[in-house]
A and B are shown apart, each in its own frame.
Chain A
Amino acid sequence: MKLLKPILSLVITVALVGFLNKSWNFGSPIPPLGKFLDPFHGFWKNAKTSEVENESISLAGLADKVSIVYDSALIPHIYATNDNDLFAAQGYITAKNRLWQMEFQTHAAGGRLSEIVGKAALDFDRTQRRLGMVYAAENSAKSMESNPIAKAMVESYTKGVNAYIQSLDYESLPIEYKLLGYEPELWTSLKSGLLLKYMAKTLNMGEKDLEMTNALKLFGKETHDLLYPDHEGVSDPIVDNTGNWKFKPVTLDSLPLAVPIELIAIQPMEKVSHEIGSNNWAVSGSKTATGSPILCNDPHLELNLPSIWYVVHLSAPGINTMGASLPGSPNVISGFNDSIAWGVTNAQRDLVDWFKIEFKDKNKNEYLSDDQWKPTRKVIEKIQLKGEKAFYDTVIYTHHGPVVFDESFHGESEKNHYAFRWIAHDPSEEVIAFYKLNRAKNHPDYMEALDHYGSPAQNFVFACVDGDIAMRIQGKYPVRRKNEGKFVLDGTKTSNDWSAFIPNDHNIAYKNPERGFVSSANQYPVDQTYPYYINASNWEEYRNRRINKLLTELTQIEPIDLMKLQLDNFNLKASESLPTFLSYIDSTQLKGAEAIAYQKLSKWDYYNNKESEGASYYEAWLRAFLPMVWDEISSSKVALPRPATYMTIRLMKEKPDLSFFDIIETPEKETVKEVIRKSFIESVAVIEKWKEEKKGEPTWAEYKDGYVGHLMRQEAFSYHIKHGGNGSIVNAHSKSNGPSWRMVVSLEKTGVQAWGVYPGGQSGNPGSPYYNNLLGLWTEGNYVKFDFSSDADKMKGKELAVITLNPSSR
């Protein structure tokens, strides 16, 4: 019995240690507290100062020594003597700063978030699996395998990432792993592929084919064409080459559009925000002070921490390039070198289709295709759930692609089987395009590089020190008949399949236009004489007009003028709609808060500057107005697309009696006048309530409440920011979307000058001062001037630290 007490005490001690060494979930997840709080290895060790130590590391498989010089913003300048070492170093240093993000994003891409966060992510994961994200990445991995340059590049990058992963112990793990209680797995080339597909999904999945099909059925063709035109015809096309498309287009046999006639009662997938878009432009030397071209790019994406971009400088024989890279993928994506600069905006094109499938029977082993039954391929997807048994999902593949919707997934009836055809499922070699762009010296090199680029389709802007500027809208596009791709398609007829693609040399492109600049902002791309049918889920109607107006007016341009243009807060949408709004309000009848609101709106200069209150009142008004107009659409039993805001404003002016302006809930018959008045009253009430809650004035930055959130939605690692701009404004910063990277490059013959900034920091570690050191600069509208000398010695004196990678002696 004497042993009872010590044994009991020992059991308690061991149980306590065991309990504290493990993650738990009591309503909210709890990290392994003992491990996490241990000041010798736990989270405390993730806290860093701004000092960075020099390191010398041996990395197996290197051919030669690589120097990585960190500058004062923690931007790595990588100096290698050959390509393979260069990419190994890029992988190593990116992982060193962004490992958790790289792995988290590839887990998200491949539908594996449930492994980390549990069942809450199951629907998301199933969506990713059913969209064939892994299938797409495997196809691109296969095409990389067969290209020796791509293969060596991706393998070297992977080697570098894994060298870093293998050097880790618990103490040096990124804090997110410690919090969630898991560890990184080894990197693979498939993961690099997944990351690019994830980007493709973000940029391609604004589609609304199911909703458009319903709208056509419910409203009829005439109303459909009124509400959802192929394009609004107001913007300057990106490329105006009227009458000069000198090629014979590929054509398809014409056949009547086969649209299934029933309504589709499927809950569609969550849409990508319309605020995802981008600006880019290049002005020729004839318009600049130095006589050299200047190129600018700002891609608009969801703003997160760690940031989607990681700035790198890659230098080796044959290459000296710098710019924004995607952590997890080799090369620079938007950047410059000693001869050229390039940048990207999304081309918006419709590269997604849904094919209605008819299975022979419930077993779904065969499906109908041109009067014959073709066999399906079934893939069993195992989704591991944190702390629970795995979930198994069977995904059926047809020749179109995977059947995303069926009765087990967002399918409200047994008949609803839709297969998903997506350009990103096709093998492609984007890494080669960027490899070549990074090394390009002139316009022919740029054109050749882009021939390797498939998806997601982008507007590639270009400028060169030799004076050329250019734009090319590059991607792999199916040849379409008129209206094809807007609606779901009959999958039982192969005549509906994507059977031909637009040849690369028929893609929209031009060089050195007379107006002295090229620009793109996600608008309709081309003049009316281009011989191919083009459609998209939405076209941008405001930013492009503002940019082109200012670029036309500007002369003797200096880089700072174009930085100002990137930060331009003029609200063209408001300037085109607010006067009409106000004309319907009888100001003599207003009292109190409504009178003040009217006055602030009347005096507003249409700039969404930080301190503007008019901007807040306008935004609140528009947010109240749009749902009131489109109540027919939001209250419909089947999913319908809401018409573009531009169309709504045009209809408000041109068709004030349109039946849609009637508010269906009320017995009265409203026209636009009543809707404008009601939404005004409602919006002022919203602002008054906001003022009461926040105990302050509704200046635009306060009202918008910009938010840069940590990828894990961890509030403690996120920031609220005060910044101007909004969606549809050149400075496209809405609450949580906006310019994710601002770059300005002056292509001077005496040496390329470049500036850039992004809302985040080079380190992904919330315990590092470099986690958010660029965020403040970005918010204030400042830029970092980049050094990118190909001579490592020129970096001397500017360096924070040097990381030396040595070939391992083994």
Chain B
Amino acid sequence: MKFSIQIIITIAACFLFQTFFPWWTMAIAALAVSFAVGNKAGVSFVAGFVGVGILWLGMAYYIDQSTHSILTEKVNKLLPLNSFVLTTLIGGFVGGFAALTGALLKQK
């Protein structure tokens, strides 16, 4: 239960932060959410990863759909991995490590 709660709040908090601030502020949001919710370290990492990953993938997918993939197809040719996969992984790892830090800080 707390796992789902962390994911949902992470998505909401990161969405808010990223709307107004640079991309890396979502790490602060994910860390704070993780600290507040208080899941175990491993669970927190996964929740942070999934939360930010879903947020980034969802946003990217929304833009891609509304612009008929006009840029996605081009950028896919110049990145080593598919841009959706890469976007999800990058967002996910930063979110995951930030959440892990939050959980570990609470447990100390």
Flag whether A714 is at the interface (Cβ < 8 A): yes
Flag whether A200 is at the interface (Cβ < 8 A): no
Q: Count of chain A residues with Cβ under 8 Å from any Cβ of B?
A: 39
* Contact (Cβ within 8 A) A38 B18: yes
Q: A13-B94, A16-B93 are in contact. Are A767 and B70 (CB under 8 A)?
A: yes
* Contact (Cβ within 8 A) A44 B27: no
List the A residue with the shortest CB-CB distance to B45: A9
Bound-complex Cα distance A3 to B104 (A): 9
List the B residue with the shortest CB-CB distance to A716: B77
Bound-complex Cα distance A10 to B34 (A): 13
* Contact (Cβ within 8 A) A46 B90: no
Enumerate chain B residues within 8 angstroms of A42, measured Cβ to Cβ: 23
Q: A16-B97, A34-B23, A716-B74 are in contact. Are A39 and B87 (CB under 8 A)?
A: yes
Enumerate chain A residues within 8 angstroms of B101, measured Cβ to Cβ: 6, 9-10, 12-13
* Contact (Cβ within 8 A) A37 B83: yes
Enumerate chain A residues within 8 angstroms of B77, measured Cβ to Cβ: 715-716
Bound-complex Cα distance A47 to B59 (A): 13
Q: Which residues of chain B from 42 to 86 have a CB within 8 Å of any chain A CB?
A: 56, 59-60, 63-64, 66-68, 70-72, 74-78, 83, 86
Flag whether B91 is at the interface (Cβ < 8 A): yes
* Contact (Cβ within 8 A) B70 A34: no
Give which listed residue, B31, B93, B104, contacts A5 with CB less than 8 A.
Answer: B104
How near does chain B come to A49, taking the closest CB pair, in angstroms?
5
Enumerate chain B residues within 8 angstroms of A43, measured Cβ to Cβ: 71, 75, 83
Give which listed residue, B27, B64, B105, contacts A6 with CB less than 8 A.
Answer: B105
List the B residue with the shortest CB-CB distance to A48: B67
Q: A6-B105, A34-B94, A40-B59 are in contact. Are A47 and B78 (CB under 8 A)?
A: no
Q: A2-B108, A10-B101, A38-B18 are in contact. Are A20 and B94 (CB under 8 A)?
A: yes
Give which listed residue, A17, A39, A175, A768, contacts B63 with CB less than 8 A.
Answer: A39
Enumerate chain B residues within 8 angstroms of A6, measured Cβ to Cβ: 101, 104-105, 107-108
Bound-complex Cα distance A732 to B74 (A): 29
* Contact (Cβ within 8 A) A44 B24: no
Q: Which residues of chain A from 464 to 481 have a CB within 8 Å of any chain B CB?
A: none
Enumerate chain A residues within 8 angstroms of B108, measured Cβ to Cβ: 2-3, 5-6
* Contact (Cβ within 8 A) A47 B63: yes
Instruction: Name the residue among A13, A170, A714 with the largest chain B CB count within 10 angstroms.
Output: A13
How near does chain A come to B22, taking the closest CB pair, in angstroms?
7
How near does chain B come to A323, taking the closest CB pair, in angstroms?
29
Flag whether A228 is at the interface (Cβ < 8 A): no
Give which listed residue, A17, A40, A46, A767, contacts B19 with CB less than 8 A.
Answer: A40
Enumerate chain A residues within 8 angstroms of B98, measured Cβ to Cβ: 13
Instruction: Name the residue among A6, A20, A41 with the largest chain B CB count within 10 angstroms.
Output: A6
Q: A20-B90, A34-B90 are in contact. Are A767 and B71 (CB under 8 A)?
A: yes
* Contact (Cβ within 8 A) B56 A33: no
Instruction: Name the residue among B23, B86, B94 with the largest chain A CB count within 10 angstroms.
Output: B23
Enumerate chain A residues within 8 angstroms of B63, measured Cβ to Cβ: 39, 44-45, 47
Q: Is the interface of A mostly helix, strand, loop or mixed?
A: helix
* Contact (Cβ within 8 A) A39 B56: yes
* Contact (Cβ within 8 A) B70 A769: yes
Q: A12-B97, A37-B91 are in contact. Are A49 and B86 (CB under 8 A)?
A: no
Enumerate chain B residues within 8 angstroms of A768, measured Cβ to Cβ: 70
Bound-complex Cα distance A179 to B64 (A): 18
Bound-complex Cα distance A34 to B64 (A): 18
Bound-complex Cα distance A767 to B72 (A): 8
* Contact (Cβ within 8 A) B104 A714: no
* Contact (Cβ within 8 A) A717 B74: yes
Give which listed residue, A3, A49, A715, contacts B68 with CB less than 8 A.
Answer: A49
Flag whether B100 is at the interface (Cβ < 8 A): yes
Bound-complex Cα distance A175 to B56 (A): 19
Enumerate chain B residues within 8 angstroms of A9, measured Cβ to Cβ: 97, 100-101, 104
List the A residue with the shortest CB-CB distance to B77: A716
Enumerate chain B residues within 8 angstroms of A40, measured Cβ to Cβ: 18-19, 23, 59
* Contact (Cβ within 8 A) B66 A49: yes
* Contact (Cβ within 8 A) B70 A48: yes
Enumerate chain A residues within 8 angstroms of B97, measured Cβ to Cβ: 9, 12-13, 16
> Hey, what's the 0/1 contact readout for A91-107 against B, CB within 8 Å counting as 1?
00000000000000000
How near does chain A come to B15, taking the closest CB pair, in angstroms?
8
Enumerate chain A residues within 8 angstroms of B100, measured Cβ to Cβ: 9, 13
List the A residue with the shortest CB-CB distance to B78: A716
Instruction: Name the residue among A10, A714, A717 with the largest chain B CB count within 10 angstroms.
Output: A10
Bound-complex Cα distance A175 to B67 (A): 16
How near does chain A come to B29, taking the closest CB pair, in angstroms?
12
Q: A13-B31, A40-B19, A44-B60 are in contact. Are A21 and B24 (CB under 8 A)?
A: yes
* Contact (Cβ within 8 A) B18 A714: no
How near does chain A come to B16, taking the closest CB pair, in angstroms?
11
Q: A2-B108, A38-B18, A39-B63 are in contact. Are A716 and B75 (CB under 8 A)?
A: yes
> Hey, what's the 0/1 contact readout for A750-772 against B, CB within 8 Å counting as 1?
00000000000000001111000
Enumerate chain A residues within 8 angstroms of B22, measured Cβ to Cβ: 35, 41, 170
List the B residue with the shortest CB-CB distance to A767: B71
List the A residue with the shortest CB-CB distance to B60: A39
> Hey, what's the 0/1 contact readout for A24-59 against B, CB within 8 Å counting as 1?
000000000111011111111111110000000000
Instruction: Name the residue among B74, B90, B107, B108 with the largest chain A CB count within 10 angstroms.
Output: B74
Enumerate chain B residues within 8 angstroms of A20, measured Cβ to Cβ: 24, 90, 94
How near does chain A come to B96, taking the closest CB pair, in angstroms?
9
How near does chain A come to B92, taking the closest CB pair, in angstroms?
11
Enumerate chain B residues within 8 angstroms of A38, measured Cβ to Cβ: 18, 23, 56, 91
List the B residue with the shortest CB-CB distance to A169: B22
Enumerate chain A residues within 8 angstroms of B86, measured Cβ to Cβ: 33, 37
Bound-complex Cα distance A41 to B98 (A): 20
Bound-complex Cα distance A12 to B102 (A): 13
Bound-complex Cα distance A48 to B77 (A): 18
Q: Which residues of chain A from 582 to 618 have a CB within 8 Å of any chain B CB?
A: none
Bound-complex Cα distance A35 to B66 (A): 21
> Hey, what's the 0/1 contact readout for A689-728 against B, CB within 8 Å counting as 1?
0000000000000000000000000111100000000000
Partner-B contacts on A (CB < 8 A): 2-3, 5-6, 9-10, 12-13, 16-17, 20-21, 33-35, 37-49, 170, 175, 179, 714-717, 766-769
By Cβ-Cβ distance, the 9 closest A-B pairs, closest first, are: A39-B59, A767-B71, A38-B23, A6-B104, A716-B77, A47-B67, A47-B71, A13-B97, A9-B101
Sample of 15 more A-B contacts, CB < 8 Å, known A40-B18, A766-B74: A13-B94, A20-B24, A21-B24, A33-B90, A37-B56, A37-B91, A38-B56, A39-B59, A41-B23, A43-B83, A715-B77, A716-B77, A716-B78, A766-B71, A767-B67
Pairs across A and B, CB under 8 Å, 24 listed: A3-B108, A5-B108, A6-B105, A9-B97, A10-B105, A13-B94, A13-B97, A17-B94, A20-B90, A21-B24, A33-B86, A34-B90, A34-B94, A39-B63, A40-B23, A41-B23, A44-B71, A47-B64, A47-B70, A48-B67, A170-B22, A716-B74, A716-B75, A768-B70
Partner-A contacts on B (CB < 8 A): 18-19, 22-24, 27, 31, 41, 56, 59-60, 63-64, 66-68, 70-72, 74-78, 83, 86-87, 90-91, 93-94, 97-98, 100-101, 104-105, 107-108
